[in-house]
Structure 1
Amino acid sequence: MTFDLDADETAMLCDGLMDWFGPLEIGEPLAVALGFRGVEDMRTESERIAQAIATGQPLTARDWSRAVSATGIAFFAEGDEWTTIRGGTDAHWIGVLRRIQRKVPWLFLGDQ
């Protein structure tokens, strides 16, 4: 499945997936909680998912859920660094995250 994402939404999801490998660091328990088999699986899968989002390729519901979850946590974990790196304001990026959450259903079960 695909979703009609604007440029900021696409960038936020891609960045939210990849930021776990700099500036953030992820541990095994959180990677597993986000639906990956571990940190290395998250690294590989995040690259694949981010590339698919960037190019408008379809993903499974599980992939979309992992992307939205990882992005939401990354945004809040980075705090001020998110806007320092990307520009804009917290209000802008919170609005982008909310738009993503409204567009992409949170389907955590299965690989639909």
Structure 2
Amino acid sequence: MTIDLTRDERTVLRCGLAEWGGPAACTDALAVAMGFQDVPDLFEQAKRLRATLADEEPLRASEWRKTLIATEIVFASDVFGSGMDWSITTGFADEETLPILRDLQRKIARALGSAHYRPGPPERL
């Protein structure tokens, strides 16, 4: 599925995926929550997804979801992601990244036909 993205939007997604191999600290449980099998699968798929985004080739719906959630978490979390280091390691200031992420959320949700992605029913507490 092709989604029309700007160069900055593609770059932010590519940076988001790349950060998992840098300052971010993923666990297998978090990788699974993002849609990957485990951390090695995250690394393997991130490399392929970054190349696909760079070549402006289409992604499957599940790949768009994984790419977006991985970028959201790595940008926002200082525990698991880049957090405070995001602007240093990517070159994108927080004030520049947030509007790009919001645009990505809208475009990807629209393309997937849903305002929110829920992989299954919520667990009961």
Tell me if TM exceeds 0.5.
yes
Distance 1:100 1:47 in 2: 20
Q: Which residue of 1 aligns with 2:95?
A: 91
Amino acid at match of 2:91: G
Q: In structure 1, what is the Cα distance between the partners aligned to 2:10 and 2:118?
A: 20
Gaps of 5+ in 2: 110-115, 120-125
Instruction: Specify the SS of the correspondent of 1:104.
Output: helix
Deviates more, 1:76-85 or 1:13-22: 76-85
- Identity level (%): 36
TM normalised by structure 2 equals 0.80
Q: Which runs of 5+ in 1 are unaligned?
A: none
Structure having greater relative contact order (Cα 8 Å, sep ≥ 6): 1
Distance 1:37 1:60 in 2: 17
Letter in 1 for 2:84: D
1-structure distance, mates of 2:22, 2:92: 20
* 1:4 aligned partner: 4
Q: How many residues align?
A: 109
Secondary structure of residue in 2 paired with 1:52: helix
- Compare 71-80 and 61-70 and name the one that shifted more: 71-80
Pick closer, same or farther for the CA change 1:30–1:5 going to 2, 3 Å: same
Greater Cα shift, 75-84 or 43-52: 75-84
TM-score (norm 1): 0.88
- How is 1:24-63 mapped onto 2 (pairs within 5 angstroms)? 24-63=24-63
CA deviation after TM superposition for structure 1 residue 90, in Å: 1.8
